[in-house]
């Protein structure tokens, strides 16, 4: 097992290296640079503009630029933002990353808490009212774009009823303790639901079909013939088996949650990684774009490793030796 | 024999599957049989004849769209059909247990052997974790599993098919049931393992004084292990008698067909005699006798109405017009109809 994990981690090195090349190539292939917008500003003379480019290293050949970036990156230096006047990328990402992680975990918790029971119940009572309701919710959830659901949620729950705040992470930064936590959660409800929507629908559909398969299996018939209670059959014998494929999905979910947050955060003006990402793309702030992209890539890699490890824990037939 | 009380009584059991608005599959259609304590009752028939459905109906493990619509199943005089699922769960695995055809898939892949045996002991016998564990090791030992102490911590995928079937038997006998239903317990196993498993079942039956309802399509197994036997066709019993009597004299044309379709060492054959045609689907039985379309002795009356199960000889029941009052004697006059 440990050998397997170490082997997987070693494979990450070339993968991450490849990822940096792709990310760098894509970022520089986009037209313009951080100073493009300033060219039209008549108060800046072309000489200053040129001098700025030179200072930022934007006139160097691309391989040199890449090498400069990757070598400082390898030393743990993510570089400086080209837009926010030299603030370090770490300081820009740091606080926002935490906000996004909170939101992602919150959404993931909603997904699991709604999708798993609903999926199991639908499988237990197929073609019941709740099953049809769940199916309808599943298709609607997958069909509605994130931003649209977010806007409707704001209109209904924020503007019309006034139950939840429409934006930000807190209404009073001076709160402490439990009050601060509650305030934070209160702010996360709408963006959390929005972010969780598509995932919940997907997981529920998977859970339903897996549980339906398992409930029809021979070993469930054996469990029934042994006189096991309904509870034991559903929550012990069925759930454990039906969750195995779901675990594989969770590996991707980490990346999806961080990536999906880009749009949701924008809609709710939530100060997370997503808003920073959009801003830095608009401003062509390469170091930030590349750092966030890389972070997403690494998250997906580690998410998958984690899923594979959990997979072997849940299913004794899977052994990594 | 007749005055001995019955352990299990099935009367006019009907289990139908409501496939859609127009089609009703009569998987079990008026089956009656009784099993005495400690005896082995064999239920014989080809795939789709309703033998497994009869067994599952006893435990009320029929899945939708199937439903037991009529009849009675009683154990020691206690009616089971009217019981709720919760009440039945106290009987399943405890008074009546069951082992299945496919040992490869009948055990839950994500739990250890020990876990799967102890849960039944804890549920029905109320044993503590430790007691249940010790008893499970004992049980594995009884069913002839070597290194029971280690195997108990292993998962089903680590065992062979024969071993898994032994684990299933250990589970089935764990609460010392009065009746063990064995649904083709050796069909999926190697020939060499088959007799081991059947001998083990016989041994357990004697040790715990269980009755066994043995479902099989193998008449050799019936001859060797069964006391009584019922032959099923199209959801109905077509012949019922003692195993000895059946082997000596098969009366129903279907039973005769079954034995003729077995390969024999005595005569050299280029082809096996198979019963022509296939079993009709349970939602579309032919009018009259359900075997009439495949029967070599078919008469006019056979396509008009379905015969009743009659006592053709002492303790030998047959569902066939050939044996009814005034029916032709199969041995003298009836000859196989041209195919």
The β-bridge relationship of strands B40-44 and B228-233 is: parallel
Cα B257 from Cα B170, distance rounded (Å) = 36
Whether B168 sits inside 8 A of A221 (CB atoms) is: no
- Which residue pairs from A269-273 have beta carbons closer than 8 angstroms and sit at least 24 positions apart in sequence? A269/A167, A269/A168, A270/A99, A270/A103, A270/A167, A270/A168, A270/A169, A270/A187, A270/A191, A271/A95, A271/A96, A271/A99, A271/A168, A271/A169, A272/A96, A272/A97, A272/A99, A272/A100, A272/A103, A273/A93, A273/A96, A273/A97, A273/A99, A273/A100
What does each C-alpha distance from B335 to A216, B45, B332 come to in angstroms?
47, 24, 8
Q: What is the CA B29 to chain-centroid distance, rounded?
A: 15
Across the interface, whether the CB atoms of B124 and A217 are under 8 A apart is answered no
For residues B307 and B319, give the distance between their C-alpha atoms in angstroms, rounded to a whole number: 6
Residue pair B315/B321 in contact by the 8 Å Cβ criterion: no
* The two three-digit tokens of residue A162, written as one number: 């006034």
pLDDT tens digits, B161-203: 999 999 999 999 999 999 999 999 988 888 888 899 999 999 9
- Residues of chain A neighbouring B20 (CB-CB closer than 8 A): none
Find the angle CA(A122)-CA(A124)-CA(A129) to the nearest 5 degrees: 45
For chain B, list residues whose CB is within 8 angstroms of any CB belonging to chain A.
Answer: 59, 61, 63, 85-86, 88-94, 97-98, 100, 102, 105-112, 119-120, 123-124, 155, 157, 168, 171
Evaluate whether residue A245 is within a structural domain.
Answer: yes
Q: Are A264 and A150 in contact (CB under 8 A)?
A: yes
Chain A hits for B93, CB-CB cut-off 8 Å, are 225-228
Domain of residue A230, CATH code: 1.10.3720.10
Alpha-carbon Rg for chain A in angstroms: 24
Among the ranges given (B4-13, B143-152, B273-282), the one the predictor scored with the smallest mean pLDDT: B273-282
Confidence check: pLDDT of B335 > 60: no
pLDDT for the residue numbered B68: 93
For position B1, what pLDDT does the model report? 44
Whether residue A26 is contained in a domain is answered as no
Residue B33: closest CA among B300, B241, B301: B241
Confidence of residue B333 (pLDDT cuts 50, 70, 90): very low
The per-residue pLDDT for B91 is 94
CA distance A299 to B48: 53
d(CA A276, CA A286): 12
- Which of A127, A217, A221, A227 to probe the B interface (max B CBs under 10 A)? A227
User: Would you say residue A71 lies in a domain?
Assistant: no
Cβ pairs A/B, distance under 8 A: 81
pLDDT band at B4 (very low <50, low <70, confident <90, very high): low
How far apart (Å, rounded) are the C-alpha atoms in residues A283 and A302?
29
Does residue A210 belong to any structural domain of this protein? yes
Please name the member of B89, B90, B155 whose beta carbon is closest to the beta carbon of A316. B155
Beta pairing class for B228-233 and B310-313: unpaired
Q: Which residue has the higher pLDDT, A8 or B12?
A: B12
How much is the pLDDT for B339? 35
Residue A12 lies in a domain: no
> How many CA atoms lie within 13 Å of A124's alpha carbon, on the beta-carbon side?
14
Give the angle subtended at the CA of B199 by the CAs of B196 and B201, to the nearest 5°.
110
With contacts defined as CB-CB under 8 Å, which chain A residues touch B168? 222
Per-residue pLDDT, averaged over B20-36, amounts to 92
- Lowest-confidence pick of A200-209, B69-78, B261-270, B322-331: B322-331
Q: Which residues 6+ apart lie within 8 Å of B299 measured at CB?
A: B321, B322, B328
* Residue B76 backbone class (left: φ over 0; alpha: ψ -120 to 50; beta: rest): left
Q: What is the pLDDT of residue B92?
A: 94
**pLDDT for the residue numbered B90:** 94
Pull the structure tokens for residue A238: 């069925």
Q: List per-residue pLDDT tens for chain A, 321 residues long.
A: 788 888 888 988 899 889 989 988 888 887 777 666 666 667 777 777 778 777 777 778 888 888 888 888 778 777 777 777 778 888 888 888 888 888 999 999 999 999 999 999 999 988 889 899 988 988 998 899 888 999 999 999 988 998 998 888 777 777 778 888 888 888 899 999 999 998 899 999 999 999 999 999 999 999 999 999 999 999 999 999 999 888 888 877 877 777 778 888 888 888 888 888 888 888 888 788 888 888 888 888 888 888 888 888 888 888 776
Determine whether A270 is exposed, middle or buried from the number of CB atoms within 10 Å of its CB (0-12, 13-18, 19+). buried
C-alpha span between A57 and A53 (Å, rounded): 6
Nearest CB among A225, A237, A316 relative to B92 is that of A225
- Name the residue facing B106 among A216, A218, A227 (closest C-beta): A218
Residue B242: both structure tokens together: 């003692």
Q: Per-residue pLDDT for B315 more than 80?
A: yes
Cβ <8 Å between A226 and B107: no
Per the model's pLDDT, the better-predicted residue between A125 and B136 turns out to be B136
Q: Do B61 and A241 touch (CB under 8 A)?
A: no
pLDDT of residue B334: 43
pLDDT at B54 over 90: yes
| Residue A222 to residue B94, Cβ atoms within 8 A | no
* In contact, A92 and A79? CB cutoff 8 Å: no
Min CA distance, A194 vs chain B (Å)?
A: 35
User: Residue with structure tokens 């299945």?
Assistant: B100
B-chain CB neighbours of A317 within 8 Å are 109, 155, 157
A242/chain B closest Cα distance in angstroms: 11
Q: What letters, b where the CB count within 10 A reaches 16 and e where it falls short, cover A118-146? A: bbbbbbbeeeeeebeebbebbeebeebeb
Domain-located, residue A39: no
Closest CA–CA distance from residue B237 to any residue of chain A (Å): 24
Please count the structural domains in chain A: 1
Mutation site for B-interface testing, chosen from A214, A224, A225 by largest number of B Cβ within 10 Å: A225
A227 and B94 in contact by Cβ < 8 A?
yes
Contacts of B87 in chain A (CB under 8 A): none
What range does the domain containing A263 cover? 94-314
> Is the Cβ pair B109, A237 closer than 8 Å?
no
pLDDT at B83: 93
A183, A170 contact by CB (below 8 A): yes
Query: In 10 A of CB B39, how many CB atoms?
Result: 19
The whole-number pLDDT of residue A314 equals: 84
Convert the pLDDT of each residue in A55-99 to its tens digit: 777 778 888 888 888 888 778 777 777 777 778 888 888 888 888
Residue A43 lies inside a defined structural domain of this protein: no
Are the CB atoms for B117 and B170 separated by under 8 Å?
yes
Binary contact (A219, B109; C-beta < 8 A): yes
Q: How many CB atoms lie within 10 A of CB A267?
A: 23
Instruction: Please indicate whether, in this complex, the C-beta atoms of B171 and A232 are within 8 angstroms of each other.
Output: no
Total count of residues recorded for chain B: 339
- Asked whether B199 and B175 are in contact (CB, 8 A), the reply is no
Residue of chain B whose Cα is closest to the Cα of A231: B86
Q: Which residue of B has its CA nearest to A236?
A: B111
Cβ of B110 within 8 Å of Cβ of A222? The answer is no
Is there a domain that residue A86 lies in?
no
Q: Does the beta-carbon distance from A225 to B97 stay under 8 Å?
A: yes
Average pLDDT over residues B134-154: 94
B264: left (phi over 0), alpha (psi -120 to 50) or beta: beta
pLDDT of residue B86: 92
How far is residue B116's CA from residue B118's CA, in Å, rounded to a whole number? 6
Residue B290, pLDDT above cutoff 60: yes
Chain A contacts to B (CB-CB under 8 A)? 216-219, 221-230, 232, 237, 240-241, 244, 314-317
Question: Considering the entire predicted model, what is its pTM?
Answer: 0.82
8-state DSSP, A155: I
């Amino acid at each position: 097992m440990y050998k397997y994990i170490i082997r997987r981690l070693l494979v990450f090195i070339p993968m991450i290296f490849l990822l940096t090349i792709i990310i760098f190539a894509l970022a520089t292939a986009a037209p313009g640079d951080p100073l493009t917008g300033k060219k039209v500003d008549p108060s800046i003379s072309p000489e200053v503009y040129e001098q700025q480019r030179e200072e930022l290293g934007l006139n160097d050949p691309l391989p040199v630029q890449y090498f400069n970036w990757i070598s400082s990156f390898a030393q743990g230096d993510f570089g400086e933002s080209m837009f926010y006047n030299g603030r370090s990328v770490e300081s820009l990402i740091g606080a926002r990353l935490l906000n996004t992680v909170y939101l992602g975990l919150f959404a993931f918790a909603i997904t699991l808490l709604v999708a798993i029971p609903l999926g199991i119940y639908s499988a237990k009572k197929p073609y019941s009212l709740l099953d049809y309701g769940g199916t309808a919710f599943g298709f609607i959830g997958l069909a509605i774009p994130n931003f649209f659901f977010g806007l409707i949620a704001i209109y209904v729950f924020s503007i019309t009823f006034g139950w939840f705040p429409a934006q930000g992470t807190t209404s009073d930064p001076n709160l402490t303790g439990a009050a601060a936590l509650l305030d934070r959660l209160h702010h996360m409800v709408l963006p959390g639901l929005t972010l969780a929507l598509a995932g919940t629908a997907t997981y529920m559909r998977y859970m339903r079909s897996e549980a339906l398969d398992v409930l029809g299996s021979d070993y469930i018939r054996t469990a029934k013939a042994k006189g096991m209670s309904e509870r034991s059959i559903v929550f012990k014998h069925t759930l454990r088996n039906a969750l195995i494929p779901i675990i594989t999905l969770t590996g991707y979910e980490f990346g999806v949650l961080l990536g999906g947050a880009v749009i949701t955060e924008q809609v709710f003006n939530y100060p997370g990684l997503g808003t920073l990402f959009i801003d830095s793309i608009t401003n062509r702030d390469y170091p930030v774009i590349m750092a966030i992209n890389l972070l997403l890539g690494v998250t997906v890699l580690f998410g998958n490793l984690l899923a594979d490890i959990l997979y072997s824990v849940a299913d004794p037939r899977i052994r990594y030796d | 024999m007749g005055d001995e009380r019955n352990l299990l009584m099935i009367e006019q059991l009907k289990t139908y599957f409501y496939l859609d608005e127009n089609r009703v599959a009569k998987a079990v259609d008026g089956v009656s049989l009784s099993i005495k304590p400690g005896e082995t009752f064999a239920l014989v028939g080809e795939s789709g004849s309703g033998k497994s459905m009869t067994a599952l109906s006893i435990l009320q493990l029929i899945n939708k769209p199937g439903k037991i619509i009529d009849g009675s199943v009683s154990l020691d005089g206690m009616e089971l059909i009217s019981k709720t699922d919760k009440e039945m769960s106290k009987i399943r695995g405890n008074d009546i247990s069951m082992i299945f055809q496919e040992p490869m898939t009948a055990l839950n892949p994500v739990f250890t052997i020990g876990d799967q045996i102890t849960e039944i002991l804890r549920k029905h016998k109320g044993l503590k974790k430790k007691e249940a564990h010790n008893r499970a090791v004992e049980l594995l030992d009884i069913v002839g599993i070597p290194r029971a102490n280690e195997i108990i911590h292993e998962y089903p995928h680590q065992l062979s098919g024969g071993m898994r079937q032994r684990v299933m038997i250990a589970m089935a006998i764990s609460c010392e049931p009065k009746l063990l239903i064995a649904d083709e317990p050796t069909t999926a196993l190697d020939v060499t393992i088959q007799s081991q498993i059947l001998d083990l079942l016989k041994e357990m039956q004697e040790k715990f004084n269980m009755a066994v309802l043995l479902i099989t399509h193998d008449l050799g197994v019936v001859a060797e292990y069964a006391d009584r036997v019922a032959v099923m066709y199209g959801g109905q019993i077509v012949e019922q008698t003692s195993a000895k009597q059946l082997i000596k004299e098969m009366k129903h044309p279907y039973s005769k067909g079954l034995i003729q379709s077995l390969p024999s060492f005595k005569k050299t054959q280029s082809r096996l005699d198979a019963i022509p045609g296939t079993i009709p689907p349970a939602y579309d039985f032919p009018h009259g006798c359900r075997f009439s379309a495949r029967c070599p002795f078919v008469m006019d009356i056979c396509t008009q109405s379905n015969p009743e199960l009659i006592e053709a000889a002492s303790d030998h029941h047959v569902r066939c017009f050939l044996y009814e009052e005034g029916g032709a004697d199969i041995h003298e006059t009836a000859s196989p109809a041209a195919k």
